[in-house]
Amino acid sequence: MGDLWLLLLLPLSLAALHGVKGCLECDPKFIEDIRTLLTNLVPSEVPGRNQLLERQFKEMTHISFKVSHRDKMLRVLAVQKVVKLRTWLKNEFYRLGNETWKGVFILQGKLLEVRQNLEPKVKETLKAFSEVACSEDCIVTEGPVLDCWTCLRITTRCFRGEYCREEDPRKAEQREIALFLILLAEAGILASAVLLFYMCVTHRRKMQTIRRTLKKYLEKKLEELVGAADEEDKKDSEPRK
């Protein structure tokens, strides 16, 4: 139930925290550079220019947020690798800016292609870094690491726990408690079955003993009654003087 509430409240909490972003969005200057580069791609006389630019800007900058928030393993990345991703994206915009203007639809298609190339690149970079940072050797490049969710730089280069798909200690503890309770219940059921079996066997033996005792008692009484009857018959058969 707690996990369900966490899943329901997570989107609201992420929306409320302005610091929760993605790896590419943590640098305000980079964001402004992307906005400027996009603006330079679209001539001022294009109808609906502002709406077009705002939509393309949101779609482009939201990619790293979407990728990093799919999995906690994709949350951290070396700052040097973040810079490389930003440089690659800027170069793509410079390349488009050097091409001849061929219309809005052509530009949208090229921007879509850039986004389609950017998303797997971001995912592969995050995944590769996570695999190295979570390995036993943990050999990573020197320099700070960026927490893409909070935009904070951290000095830790080796990670354990939920970032590395290791179990949350609380969940592991809860599962151990549940397992202990299940084993305890099974032991109780088994003990009850054994006790019931013992009582049934004991009761059966007692009843057998009682039946044997009662049988012997009845046989003895029957013998006594038969003997008494014989004595009476003898007395009756003797001649009276």
What span, in angstroms and rounded, lies between the C-alpha atoms of 205 and 197?
12
Residues 43, 47, 49: CA angle, nearest 5 degrees: 60
How do residues 48-103 score in pLDDT, each as one tens digit? 889 988 998 888 888 777 777 666 667 778 888 888 888 999 999 899 889 888 88
Q: Which two tokens stand for residue 178?
A: 């549940």
Of 141-145, 167-171, 205-209, least confident by mean pLDDT is 167-171
Tell me the per-residue pLDDT of 37-58, one tens digit each, with 9 for 90 and over: 888 888 888 898 899 889 988 8
Q: What is the pLDDT of residue 152?
A: 83
Supply the pTM of this predicted model.
0.56
Give the model's pLDDT for residue 168: 53
For residue 3, name the pLDDT band (cuts at 50, 70, 90). Answer: very low
80-113 as b/e: b if 16+ CB within 10 A: ebbeebbeebeebbeebeeeeeeeeeebeebbee
**Single-letter amino acid, residue 161:** G
Residue type, 171: K
If pLDDT is split at 50, 70 and 90, which confidence band does 166 have? low
